Amino acid sequence: MVSSLVPNILLFDSGVGGLSVYREIHRLLPNHNYFYLFDNEGYPYGELSQQELLSRVETLVTSIVTEMDIDLVVIACNTASTIVLPTLRKKLSIPVVGVVPAIKPACNLARKSVGLIATPATIRRPYTHELIRDFSCNKEVYLLGSTELVDIAEHKLRGDSVDMEQLSHILQPVRGRVDVAVLGCTHFPLLRGEIQQVLGNEVVLVDSGKAIAKRVESLVSPLMCRHIPGKHRIFSSTFPFKEKALNQILSGWGFNRVERFPIPDFSDR
Ligand code: DGL
């Protein structure tokens, strides 16, 4: 029956962060097929040069789109989205949705000041500074770039406990100074409870997950519904660390074991 066919949706990130976006999309669209590719060989994206990041994302995403017959792509990574979207949209004929830091809603909510917690690269990007310039409404925006925080989320998704003292130390620059904090890296909603505990319950935490899910829902068209449902496949560009522990946690998210999707011909670039 044609009505039971579904689209193939791809989520892409450097690591497990995109799962926070997947969670919101899956909540709205539970019956679709999901493919998740993480470029752990290029991780952490927050420390990569712009050129390398562009090249890796473009190569990986365009290859998997062809190979898995994808209908819609979500770049579930702020660090990548702030630079790769124009190129990818030119290369692909399917919708490409990106995730950028939720500066605008955060500044609308804030009474005094906002903290932007993101990767070091996102903090530096002109795109981010334009968002702040255009939407901060004269509220002070404190910037905090941290790869350590991304690492903590990666470890949490392998079953490791979060070191709250380390977390307090990392969040020190925004602690007590802001009433709204933007989780400007998709890894950070995976640490929402812990970050809330450190910053205090009075601080509102904002991320882009729900808005992205709504955007995806609005872009899914009947033409995309052409695949047999039931696919939840996850791929990595190289062997993930603590793979067994990761697979165990991923099965709770409804995914099969991590499969390999290495960069095609990347060494020949
Ligand atoms: N999850 C990514 C983001 O939203 C990037 C993390 C990293 O690899 O540095 O920015």
Residue 118 CA to ligand 1 centre (angstroms): 8
Summarize pLDDT for 217-251 with one digit per residue, the tens.
999 999 999 999 999 999 999 999 999 999 999 99
Atom of ligand 1 nearest to the CA of 147: 9
Mutate to test the pocket of ligand 1, among 14, 22, 207, 237 (most ligand atoms within 8 A of CB): 14
Residue 111 has pLDDT above 70, yes or no: yes
For β-strands 8-13 and 72-75, DSSP reports them as: parallel
Predicted pLDDT of residue 61: 98
Residues shown for the chain: 269
Predicted pLDDT of residue 134: 96
Summarize pLDDT for 139-154 with one digit per residue, the tens.
999 999 999 999 999 9
Mean pLDDT across 49-63? 97
Summarize pLDDT for 79-110 with one digit per residue, the tens.
999 999 999 999 999 999 999 999 999 999 99
Predicted pLDDT of residue 2: 46
pLDDT bucket at 264, cuts 50 / 70 / 90: confident
Predicted pLDDT of residue 266: 53
Predicted pLDDT of residue 1: 44
Active site residue 137: no
Would you list which residues are annotated within the binding site for substrate? 13-14, 45-46, 78-79, 186-187
* Start-to-end CA span in the chain (Å): 44
Cis omega (within 30 of 0) for bond into 126: no
Yes or no: say if 119 and 46 are a contact pair by the CB < 8 Å rule: yes
Q: How much is the mean pLDDT over the chain?
A: 95
CB-ligand 1 contact for 186 (6 Å cutoff): yes
Question: Which protein residue's CA is at the shortest distance from atom 2 of ligand 1?
Answer: 77
Predicted pLDDT of residue 3: 53
CB-ligand 1 contact for 115 (6 Å cutoff): no
**Which backbone phi and psi does 61 adopt, to 5 degrees?**
-65, -45
Cα separation, 28 vs 213, in Å, equals 7
Residue 269 has pLDDT above 70, yes or no: no
Atom of ligand 1 nearest to the CA of 44: 8
Predicted pLDDT of residue 268: 47
Percent of the chain with pLDDT over 70: 97
Indicate the pTM of the whole model.
Answer: 0.96
pLDDT bucket at 35, cuts 50 / 70 / 90: very high
Instruction: Pick the catalytic residue from 77, 107, 137, 225.
Output: 77
All domains of the chain, ordered by start, with CATH? Answer: 2-99+210-268 (3.40.50.1860), 103-207 (3.40.50.1860)
Q: Which helix H or strand E contains 98, and what residues bound it? A: strand 96-98
Atom of ligand 1 nearest to the CA of 14: 8
Summarize pLDDT for 176-206 with one digit per residue, the tens.
999 999 999 999 999 999 999 999 999 999 9
Residue 267 has pLDDT above 70, yes or no: no
Predicted pLDDT of residue 147: 98
CB-ligand 1 contact for 44 (6 Å cutoff): yes
Atom of ligand 1 nearest to the CA of 48: 9
Active site residue 107: no
Yes or no: say if 146 and 120 are a contact pair by the CB < 8 Å rule: yes
For the chain, give the longest Cα–Cα distance.
57
pLDDT bucket at 74, cuts 50 / 70 / 90: very high
